[in-house]
Amino acid sequence: MKKLYFLFVFLITNVFFCCSPDVVTVQVIRNPSIKFNLNGASWKSDKYSFAAPSMVVVYPDDPTQSAKQYTRMVLQASGSDDKNNNLQLIISFDVADANQLVGTYTPAHNLQRGLAQVQLFNVSNSNNLEAHELCDDNTVTSSFQIQKQSSTERLITGIFQITLCNIRDTTQKITLTNGILTDIRY
């Protein structure tokens, strides 16, 4: 009986002291990127910047309504697509409250937000620079949506689909589809 007792104490002691709690470290790795599809090619960039916010006044198309003051945010990104085209993307959007960026931005400004301008430059060939901007045509639907915002880390995440017109010939249109922003620091 004494042998069994000592064996039991020995096993319990070894199990108790030899087992230590596992230490688990969790690290969130941010992978900021912007990507979209254009004419069968995928474009992605992890090189982006925000210009310093500025204050702008937007006058509505309806002259009976008063102008509204917004904070303008300008996101700039550059990268290459699958066809080795070097593209530069500039998205300018306006928001009434710069602390609340979440929402859908369209070219028709509302009281809270609006999409001011989107420009895409193909800078691959300096002799034949291609430039596109947000179409003035009201029948074209374009939207830029910020889905999540972390004010403490100053990160945004969102999606977009935007139709752009060639600056020289506005009948030539291109559409940026499946646009995604992830963990962009603003």
Q: Give the domain ranges of the chain.
A: 29-185
Res. 6: pLDDT tops 80: no
pLDDT digit string (tens) for 167-183? Answer: 999 999 999 999 999 99
Q: Would you state the pLDDT for residue 90?
A: 98
Strands (E), the chain: 33-38, 41-50, 54-58, 68-81, 86-95, 103-105, 113-122, 130-134, 143-150, 155-166, 173-185
Q: What are phi and psi of 6, to 5 degrees?
A: -65, -40
The reply to whether the predicted model has a pTM over 0.85 is no
> What band does 20 get if pLDDT is binned at 50, 70 and 90?
low
Under 8 Å between Cβ of 155 and 122: no
pLDDT tens for each residue of 141-173: 899 999 999 999 999 999 999 999 999 999 999
- Using DSSP's 3-state secondary structure scheme, residue 11 falls into helix
